[in-house]
């Protein structure tokens, strides 16, 4: 694991411990039977390849919804959702330990499996999988600067 971190601004959409899954527009996507183990949000400066704001999770104590935090991105999880790459930056004040990194990857492997079931139930096709870890710079390079007139994701949840 590299120690090359990049500073990013993250807006928290789902506080650690929350059961409500919200999208980048603030709309509730669904009520989860499991609480979110991380502060989850997005980087308002970039769009991921699926056309929504670049996702980010922030390790550490619970942060209130709407918190804007400048933090360090230490890497990213490469998630495939309905066949689209949906990178998740992994952010923290300090480099995640190997144990934390493995826990994040286990969570997203389970998340991808759960999304596969949800997408099947919703009649949505495409591959869902956790494809491992990459450098934060690699995930940001796959993203695009947010366009001036962006009004929300082009793909429905």
Domain harbouring 113, CATH code: 3.90.80.10
Task: Report yes or no on 152 lying in a domain.
Answer: no
Per the structure, how many domains does the chain have?
1
Query: At residue 147, does pLDDT exceed 90?
Result: no
- Of the candidates 107, 37, 121, the residue with the CA atom closest to the CA atom of residue 79: 107
In a domain, 151, yes or no: no
Residue-wise pLDDT for 2-28, tens only, equals: 568 999 999 999 999 998 877 667 777
pLDDT at 34: 79
Identify whether 31 is part of a domain. Answer: yes
In a domain, 120, yes or no: yes
Domain-located, residue 91: yes
157 falls within a domain: no
- State the residue range of the domain holding 130: 6-145
In a domain, 106, yes or no: yes
Question: Does residue 153 lie in a domain region?
Answer: no
In this predicted model, what pLDDT tens digit does every residue of 76-114 receive, in sequence order? 999 998 888 899 999 999 999 999 999 999 999 998 998
pLDDT tens per residue across span 24-41: 677 777 677 778 899 999
């Amino acid at each position: 694991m590299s120690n090359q971190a990049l500073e990013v601004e993250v807006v928290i959409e789902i506080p650690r411990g929350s059961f409500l899954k919200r999208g980048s527009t603030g709309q509730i996507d669904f009520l989860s039977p499991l609480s979110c183990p991380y502060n989850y949000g997005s980087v308002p400066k970039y769009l991921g390849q699926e056309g929504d704001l670049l996702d980010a999770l922030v390790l550490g104590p619970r942060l209130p919804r709407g918190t804007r935090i400048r933090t360090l991105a230490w890497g990213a999880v490469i998630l495939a959702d309905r066949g689209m790459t949906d990178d998740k930056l992994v952010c923290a004040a300090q480099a995640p330990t190997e144990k934390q990194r493995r826990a994040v990857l286990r969570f997203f492997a389970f998340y991808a499996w759960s999304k596969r079931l949800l997408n099947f139930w919703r009649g949505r096709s495409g591959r869902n999988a956790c494809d491992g870890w990459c450098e934060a710079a690699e995930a940001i390079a796959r993203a695009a600067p947010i366009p001036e007139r962006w009004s929300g994701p082009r793909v429905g949840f």
